[in-house]
């Protein structure tokens, strides 16, 4: 009997030590929502991006302007319109979430856009300034892939604040 109690206590201690290794499903759902929203904006998928927003909420009301601004940047900046960089990917790192019954406040630690670029001498997106670009690019070696640089930068316009308010609509969280 003592042996059984000892094994039970060992099992409980082991499970308690492992508890911190499991991701919070709600946190992962929120991270997925924010990533899906940013990537849908970058991909030009109007319906997918809008489906991440609370209908009638502040972000929903300004969505058309935000969507058009992102698309204008992607179609006019030479990094994307001339094929210098691949279509970027968006990802967030969450610092903390304050949960409520219907509302959640998400504090972001990072919100990055990353992509492969071929011209390493041009400062990446959103706006390359002429004084930061070399007038003549260095000649790349023959064995270097044209898309040879993974470029990431902190993004402040796909999600324009460090704190994002979410609202639970039905069974899912949406961006308010």
16 phi and psi angles, rounded to 5 deg: -65, -35
Cα separation of 4 and 105, whole Å? Answer: 45
Domain assignment present for residue 65? The answer is yes
**HEC sequence for the chain:** CHHHHHHHHHHHHHHHHHHHHCCCHHHHHHHHHHHHHHHHHHHCCHHHHHCCECCCCHHHHCHHHHHHHHHHHHHHCHHHHCCCECCCEEEEEEEEEEECCCEEEEEEEEEEEEEEECCCCCCCCCCCCHHHCCCCCCCCCCCCCCCCEEEEEECCCCCCCCEEEEEEECCEEEEC
Q: Is residue 78, in this structure, part of any structural domain at all?
A: yes
Are 104 and 166 in contact by the 8 Å Cβ rule? The answer is yes
How many CB atoms sit inside 10 A of residue 36's CB? 16
Q: Is residue 59 part of a domain?
A: yes
Written as six digits, the tokens of 76 are 């006019």
Q: Which CATH number covers residue 159? A: 3.10.450
- pTM as predicted: 0.71
What is the mean pLDDT of each successive set of 10 residues along the chain, which is 176 residues long?
63 56 87 96 96 97 95 83 81 94 95 77 45 44 57 80 93 96
- The boundaries of the domain holding residue 31 are 25-129+145-175
Count structural domains, the chain: 1
Does the residue 98 lie in any domain? Answer: yes
Residue 57 lies in a domain: yes
Whether residue 149 lies inside any domain: the answer is: yes
* Res 161: pLDDT: 82
pLDDT of residue 97: 97
Q: Does residue 14 sit within a domain?
A: no
Please confirm whether the linkage preceding 126 is cis (ω < 30° from 0): yes
- Burial-class residue 13 by CB neighbours within 10 Å (0-12, 13-18, 19+): exposed
Look at residue 69 and tell me if it is in a domain: yes
């Amino acid at each position: 009997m003592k042996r059984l109690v000892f094994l039970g206590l060992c099992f409980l201690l082991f499970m308690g030590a492992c508890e911190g290794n499991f991701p919070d499903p709600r946190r992962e759902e929120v991270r997925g929502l924010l990533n899906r929203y940013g990537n849908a904006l970058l991909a030009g998928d109007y319906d997918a991006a809008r489906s991440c927003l609370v209908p009638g909420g502040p972000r929903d009301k300004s969505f058309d302007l935000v969507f058009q601004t992102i698309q204008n940047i992607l179609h006019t900046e030479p990094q994307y319109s001339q094929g210098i960089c691949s279509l970027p990917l968006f990802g967030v790192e969450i610092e903390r979430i304050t949960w409520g019954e219907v509302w959640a406040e998400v504090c972001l630690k990072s919100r990055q856009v990353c992509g492969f670029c071929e011209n390493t001498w041009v400062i990446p997106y959103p706006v390359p300034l002429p004084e930061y670009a070399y007038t003549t690019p260095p000649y790349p070696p023959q064995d270097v892939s044209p898309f040879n640089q993974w470029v990431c930068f902190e993004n402040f316009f796909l999600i324009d604040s460090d704190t994002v308010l979410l609202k639970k609509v039905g069974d899912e969280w949406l961006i308010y």
